[in-house]
Structure 1
Amino acid sequence: MAVVSTVLPFGSWPTPITSELVVTAAVRVSGARTDGDAVYWAEARPSEGGRTQIVRRDPDGTTTDLLAEGFDARTGVHEYGGAAWWVRAGVVWFANWTDQRLYRLAPGGAPEPLTPVPATPRADRYADGHLHEDSLLLIRERHDGPSAAEVRNEIVRIAADRPTDEPEVLVSGPDFATSPRLSRDGVRLVWMQWDHPSMPWDDVVLMGRNLETGDEAFIAGGPGESVAEPQWQPDGSLWFLSDRTGWWNLYRWVPGEDITPVVVLDAEIGVPGWQLGSSRYAVLPGGRVVFARWSKGYDGLAVREPDGEFTELDLPFSAIGSVAPYGVGSVVIVAGTPTEEPGVHVVSVDGDVETLAAPRDLGIDDGYLSVPEAVSFPSVTPAGEPRTAHALYYPPANPDHEGPADTLPPLLVVIHGGPTAAAVPVLSVSVQYWTSRGFGVVDVNYGGSTGFGRAYRDLLKGAWGIVDVADCLAAARWLAQRGVVDGTRLAIRGGSAGGYTTLAALARADTPFSAGADHFGVADLEALAADTHKFESRYLDGLIGPYPAARETYVERSPIHHVEDFHTPLIVLQGAEDAIVPPNQSEAIVEALRARKVPVAYLLFPGEQHGFRRAENIRRALDAELSFYAQVYGFDAPEGIDPVDVENL
């Protein structure tokens, strides 16, 4: 018997994908690692206040939460964190979010602090550890004062099994130093370093030091080259990623010899180093290499045999978060698909898959899930020359409802953060929240995004607020011209850097957008240059120009200085404790729009930082944004959603 769909206005379709489903029992899985036959991973849990738990899975399938209440394995290094815990022989070392000290957790015991109490709370932060015999090498980020100039990033060494009065400093001087890795004989230390105004995807140097002689040597990287993920192998060789060919590929170096390529493809093995501890390849016993690679907007897994032959594994995964060796012929990965959230899986070199931590069962029919299509569309350079941009388009999907025959769906143009990042084709329940209600969603990989090679990534150099905006406008207009979406109901939304692009796209007289949502975005580039954390304190040099020498460009591209062209209704959502994009950015644009009587809604979330982690706040932000669109576009929001107050509407 055929199922008859009910006709309702696009955007108002009832759906089981509610904000409660988005956060109920939701976890963000990351950082799978192995310790003998046991597998460990981290889970960020909104239902526990956003804390990160470490989970162990034993060979018999038993899983155990390792951290007692009050502990949170998360580091504040670079503000974005990553690489906050390590494991060996059942012992776990982790950085605790509350005090940022390093702790050791032995089996059956309680966490014991290893690092001293800093002069001021949370002033010393630790991450990216490397265990070698009875010592632990790691990053220490020391905050000697409130400004970015008073932050020191060093590589230090401590005892792995007892408290340390003061860590031994091994590397100091560069603005940033990461990835300390000691050769298995304990003689050669390598690390990555870079200085302002570079970012870790720009000009990164791989350095080495003989700890017996003190001799230091440059290994790879430098101007126009970014290196990542150095790993010592049992044969004494060092493997690492480099984008020297225009793509993050894999290389091998033996002290005293030349660097040789291992995997060279027109695909990205590496990912941008926003967070520490990326793991995109694993060298297995016998010389096989299993690696993840981005190509044409999708991720995948491949195997390189010792003789150089490549095999693409036929897997359902479209986004891979980490790769770790497991036994002789397998790896453990964190990976998801367009219809499943990331889980933890064991994958053999033959392509067999065993799931260790399954994605949550949403309990809904697949008909509610929109599968993205990778699309390319025409855009232009800042000089007006034609070029190609990329995106993922999600059509509306709901088996029970359809829109009126004479109408088209509204479109949400989604802008990823970064801006040096990418739209990821993995199931996001928060995207399906919109598509199952009748919205089309286009997630734009604008020029400057990663996954398309260095040349595409560098399109945003000196052109932030131009190239990204052009591509978002082009994506919306292209879909409307093709008759896919309603060209009169184009909305744009983004968080952080995506929030800036949202505001920049709206603060222009010719904007095609009729609504916008700014999640903790940048309104005033000058204010951001003067008030942000060390890691990004010179990021804008490359995206816009050195400040204050390029002050006119900062003013010209700041949405706050173009409010006279701003007539589009806007909702703004902001964390009260955001140290990356402080609340004054959101409040400036809100006050300016209020003064001009432009429709605006503003929600400030106490206790939230950069990106919302608490379940109740994630729910409120989603539902408030839906209420906002319902009021702007004139459809009914579902019952049970508290309406948001839109001033001046």
Structure 2
Amino acid sequence: MKKTAPYGSWPSPISAQLVASATPTIDQPVIDNKTTDGANLYWLESRADEGGRNVIVQRDDNGDPRDVLPRPYSAASRVHEYGGACYTVYDHIIYFVNRDDQQIHRLDTGQSDSKPQAITPANRGYRFADFCVDPTHHRLLCVCEHHDDKDAEPKNFIATLSLTEPHHMTTLVDGDDFYAYPRISPAGAQLCWLSWNHPSMPWYGNELWQATVNNEGELSGATKIAGSKQEAIFQPQWSPSGQLYFVSDRSGWWNLYRYESSGQAVAICTREAEFATPLWTLGMSTYTFLGNNCVDDCGNRIICCYTQNGLWYLARINISVGTGSSELIPVQTHCTQISAVAGCGDTAWFVGASADTGNQLFQLDTITGHCSTVREFAVPVPAPDKGIYSKPQNISFATTHGDRANAFYYPPCNTSFQARTGDKPPLIVICHGGPTGATSTALNLKIQFWTSRGFAVLDINYRGSTGYGRHYRELLDGKWGISDVEDVVWGGRYVIDHGLADPDKLAIRGSSAGGYTVLAALTFHQLFKAGASYYGIGDLEALARDTHKFESQYLERLVGTYPAQADIYQARSPVHHIDRLTCPVIFFQGLDDKVVPTNQAESMVSALQKQGLPAVYITFPGEGHGFRKAENIAQALTQELQFYREVFDIKITDGED
């Protein structure tokens, strides 16, 4: 029989320490580019209990995982600050970016005593990401970002690096502000890439280019084949037979296309679904080709993932050789979040999660349809059959201007405790970062941490989120700090109106751009009674003046032209309207954050304290934009929980941690 205790006070087996130890992620499955059967499989694991170290893992001959990247090395790129695609493998040799020095290192996994060796210059300000091996010219292609002048923006370009000593580095493509996806065709005779320029972001508009590669590896005849300021291209990729595919949102939805020799792009699969995600990190993959480079199997089979209404699905696309027509066939999995799709031969790999399972690396036999787990978290989280996990409920609610917004509602859930009849739980509204991004239904112990203690959670995909088409994404244009804030307020009211939350115990939390939504909602509306800002933004002008290159003109689209429209920036900046903020706020900030500098939190805290309002400020040395270390993740959660309990006067139940 369940014990009765107030909402928010329940003891839970999901401790802050457990959440922190369960935060490692699995990402970037890579097949040795010289193999044709997928036998050499690698992936990346981020481990909070090792100080946030990113470890390259290999599946050994027995099918067991083994770490191949020795301590203290950590594979992580800082291109665009967010990195991505930080390693590749060719002929048993791993080429990876080391986090501490941002140099490319070479590691021969075929030799047991091999140690990483740096093959790019030290202390020269170079950063690398998004690798592609060009075996024809025996070189590595990558995106390079050069920081050589503190007073100027870094320079981005596509570089080549010889795979043999002395590992000479050259510039292959330059002239634009940003680059992504340099990819060589199977025959080594063509190169494609994406590029874009300020003030665009890659999900607003970019260009897909193609060029001929001669025997010396030089380019000629560079031609733009897709993309514009109003069209966003994602993941250009060559089929095994040498045809170029890509994802475009020209229809209003990110769908898959093939570039024909006639110069036309043909839609492979047309539907109101998104086969892409915003390119915050380089090298993202939502589809892959099956088969090998031969006449009878020329890449007419594709494994892909796509999202509809906040849920992700896996599918197979068969393309008719004769007519070019295609058929999308669903692949049944229990996953509702899917990413990092890779393939070789008749096998595909992907990272998947569901409402009751965290990120796992799966292997799909596309002939038999059998899906098996390659790697899953070893952290002892409570089994879902114990009933401790709250299941997300997909909701759509009315908001301003006749629009609708989307969210996932998580009710309080605990197998050992219940509240008194008639009581309503405190509600935590979560604002995802970006703001161009989305939340998901994948098991998130940071949410279960709250629901298992008797809090309800509303995780909102406000207008401007991805996964609902380009029109929904553009509803935030010029409206950041307006539409997103209205949506979290209307979402909170929706939950209250349905009797699912205590109107006197509403909190709001968010990180980065989500932290700005938190502070704006607390300042310009009076619905919420407490807030938690993780490295959030309080001063839009300061952000426009002081952030990294990748996002330095992001606000041009979200807010307005700066400094010409400085009045809008000031009007939407909570720091200038502290007199309207009347509830307690807790701030968490990494002292090494280059995306949202510490002055953002410090200015808000100072302004609040001058007004005599409760403001808690907690800093973490050695942390950047997002916390990597387990002890810091646990400390932040523990102090946030204590903060809410004090604000809402929730008495702790005996036995609670």
Q: TM-score, normalised by structure 1?
A: 0.95
Q: Following the alignment from structure 1 to structure 2, what is the Cα–Cα distance between the partners of residues 49 and 637?
A: 31
Deviation track 1:225-256 (CA, whole Å, cap 9, x = no partner) reads 00011111222210111111111111111344
Residues 1:304 and 2:320 aligned together: no
Q: Following the alignment from structure 1 to structure 2, what is the Cα–Cα distance between the partners of residues 639 and 622?
A: 20
Output the amino acid matched with 2:503.
G
Q: Following the alignment from structure 2 to structure 1, what is the Cα–Cα distance between the partners of residues 445 and 285?
A: 25
CA contact (8 A) 2:211 2:223 kept: yes
Output the amino acid matched with 1:362.
V
Output the amino acid matched with 2:473.
R
Residues 1:313 and 2:331 aligned together: yes
Which of 111, 114, 117 does residue 116 from structure 2 map onto? 111
Deviation track 1:407-435 (CA, whole Å, cap 9, x = no partner) reads 10010000000000001110011110000
Deviation track 1:589-637 (CA, whole Å, cap 9, x = no partner) reads 1111111111111101111000000011000000000000010011134
Residues 1:406 and 2:422 aligned together: yes
Task: Give the match for residue 61 of structure 1.
Answer: 63
Task: Give the match for residue 394 of structure 2.
Answer: 374
Output the amino acid matched with 1:343.
Q
List aligned pairs for 1:56-455, cutoff 5 A: 56-107=58-109, 108=111, 109-119=114-124, 123-133=125-135, 134-147=138-151, 149-165=152-168, 167-212=169-214, 214-285=220-291, 286=297, 287-307=300-320, 308-328=326-346, 330-349=347-366, 351-360=369-378, 361-364=380-383, 366-380=386-400, 385-455=401-471
1:131 aligned counterpart, secondary structure: strand
| Of 318-327 and 136-145, the range deviating more from structure 2 | 318-327
Q: Following the alignment from structure 2 to structure 1, what is the Cα–Cα distance between the partners of residues 628 and 656?
A: 20
Residues 1:32 and 2:29 aligned together: yes
Deviation track 1:502-561 (CA, whole Å, cap 9, x = no partner) reads 0000002x4210010000000000000010000000000000011101100000000101
TM-fit CA distance, 1:461: 0.5
Q: Following the alignment from structure 1 to structure 2, what is the Cα–Cα distance between the partners of residues 189 and 99?
A: 29
2:570 aligned counterpart, secondary structure: helix
TM-fit CA distance, 1:640: 9.5
Residues 1:521 and 2:521 aligned together: no
Q: Following the alignment from structure 2 to structure 1, what is the Cα–Cα distance between the partners of residues 11 and 22?
A: 22
Task: Give the match for residue 323 of structure 2.
Answer: none
TM-fit CA distance, 1:26: 4.2
1:180 aligned counterpart, secondary structure: strand
CA contact (8 A) 1:236 1:254 kept: no
CA contact (8 A) 1:33 1:332 kept: no
TM-fit CA distance, 1:40: 0.9
Residues 1:472 and 2:485 aligned together: no
TM-fit CA distance, 1:366: 3.3
CA contact (8 A) 1:626 1:637 kept: no
TM-fit CA distance, 1:395: 0.7
Deviation track 1:471-501 (CA, whole Å, cap 9, x = no partner) reads 0001000000010111111110000000000
Q: Following the alignment from structure 1 to structure 2, what is the Cα–Cα distance between the partners of residues 27 and 223?
A: 36
Q: Following the alignment from structure 2 to structure 1, what is the Cα–Cα distance between the partners of residues 7 and 224?
A: 59
CA contact (8 A) 1:104 1:161 kept: no
Question: How large is the RMSD of aligned CA atoms in angstroms?
Answer: 1.5
Q: Following the alignment from structure 1 to structure 2, what is the Cα–Cα distance between the partners of residues 363 and 541?
A: 45
CA contact (8 A) 2:143 2:179 kept: yes
CA contact (8 A) 1:116 1:163 kept: no
| Of 311-320 and 461-470, the range deviating more from structure 2 | 311-320
| Of 520-529 and 203-212, the range deviating more from structure 2 | 203-212
CA contact (8 A) 2:186 2:241 kept: no
Task: Give the match for residue 603 of structure 1.
Answer: 618
1:613 aligned counterpart, secondary structure: coil
TM-fit CA distance, 1:116: 1.3
Q: Following the alignment from structure 2 to structure 1, what is the Cα–Cα distance between the partners of residues 386 and 434?
A: 31
Q: Following the alignment from structure 1 to structure 2, what is the Cα–Cα distance between the partners of residues 9 and 503?
A: 28
CA contact (8 A) 2:200 2:229 kept: no
Deviation track 1:420-479 (CA, whole Å, cap 9, x = no partner) reads 000111001111000000000010000000000000001110000000001000100000
TM-fit CA distance, 1:215: 1.4
Task: Give the match for residue 646 of structure 1.
Answer: none
Q: Following the alignment from structure 1 to structure 2, what is the Cα–Cα distance between the partners of residues 106 and 296?
A: 44
TM-fit CA distance, 1:280: 0.3
Q: Alignment length, in residue pairs? A: 628
TM-fit CA distance, 1:67: 1.0
Deviation track 1:261-291 (CA, whole Å, cap 9, x = no partner) reads 1121110010000001111001112411111
Output the amino acid matched with 1:354.
S
Deviation track 1:67-96 (CA, whole Å, cap 9, x = no partner) reads 111211000000001000001222111000
Residues 1:22 and 2:19 aligned together: yes
CA contact (8 A) 2:5 2:653 kept: no
Deviation track 1:46-66 (CA, whole Å, cap 9, x = no partner) reads 111101000001242122101
List aligned pairs for 1:491-502, cutoff 5 A: 491-502=507-518
CA contact (8 A) 2:511 2:536 kept: yes
CA contact (8 A) 2:180 2:283 kept: no
Deviation track 1:288-318 (CA, whole Å, cap 9, x = no partner) reads 1111000011001011122322211221001
Q: Following the alignment from structure 1 to structure 2, what is the Cα–Cα distance between the partners of residues 507 and 257?
A: 52
Output the amino acid matched with 1:136.
L
Deviation track 1:160-179 (CA, whole Å, cap 9, x = no partner) reads 233435x1101111010111
CA contact (8 A) 2:269 2:327 kept: no
Output the amino acid matched with 2:381.
L
| Of 356-365 and 70-79, the range deviating more from structure 2 | 356-365
1:507 aligned counterpart, secondary structure: helix
Task: Give the match for residue 2 of structure 2.
Answer: 5
TM-fit CA distance, 1:641: 8.9
Residues 1:553 and 2:560 aligned together: no
Task: Give the match for residue 575 of structure 1.
Answer: 590
TM-fit CA distance, 1:639: 7.7
1:115 aligned counterpart, secondary structure: coil
TM-fit CA distance, 1:386: 1.0
Deviation track 1:372-417 (CA, whole Å, cap 9, x = no partner) reads 011000001xxxx211100011111101111121310010000000
TM-fit CA distance, 1:326: 3.5
Q: Following the alignment from structure 2 to structure 1, what is the Cα–Cα distance between the partners of residues 656 and 166?
A: 51
TM-fit CA distance, 1:351: 3.7
1:362 aligned counterpart, secondary structure: coil
Output the amino acid matched with 2:345.
G
TM-fit CA distance, 1:128: 0.3
2:403 aligned counterpart, secondary structure: strand
